[in-house]
Chains A and B, each alone.
Chain A
Amino acid sequence: MTRKLLLDKVNVEGIAGYDVYRKNGGYRSVEKALKTMSPDEVVEEVKKSGLRGRGGAGFPTGMKWSFLAKPEGVPRHLLCNADESEPGTFKDRYLMEKIPHLLIEGMIVSSFALGANQSYIYIRGEYMYVLRILEKAIAEAYANGWLGKNILGTGFDLDLSVTPGAGAYICGEETALIESLEGKRGNPRIKPPFPAVKGLWQRPTVVNNVETIAAVVPIVNDGGEEYAKIGIGRSTGTKLISAGGNINKPGVYEIEMNITVEEFIYSDTYCGGIKNGKRLKACVPGGSSVPILPHYLVCKTAAGEDRLMTYESLADGGFATGSMLGSGGFIVYDEDQCIVRNTWNFTRFYHHESCGQCSPCREGTGWMEKVLHRLEYGHGKMEDINLLWDIQRKIEGNTICPLGDAAAWPVAAAIRHFREEFEWHVNEPKACMERNYGLVTEKTFETATA
Chain B
Amino acid sequence: MKLPDLPGGRVLPVVTAPASVLSATGVEVDPTDPAIVQLAADLVATMRVSPGCVGLAAPQVGVGAQVFAVDVGGHPKAVTTHGTFVLCNAKVVEASRWKAGREGCMSVPDLTGDVRRAGRVVVEAIAPGTGEPVTITTDAFEARALQHEIDHCDGKLFLDRVAGAHAIYQRKVYL
Our verdict on whether A and B bind, yes or no, reads no
A residues engaging B (CB < 8 A)?
none
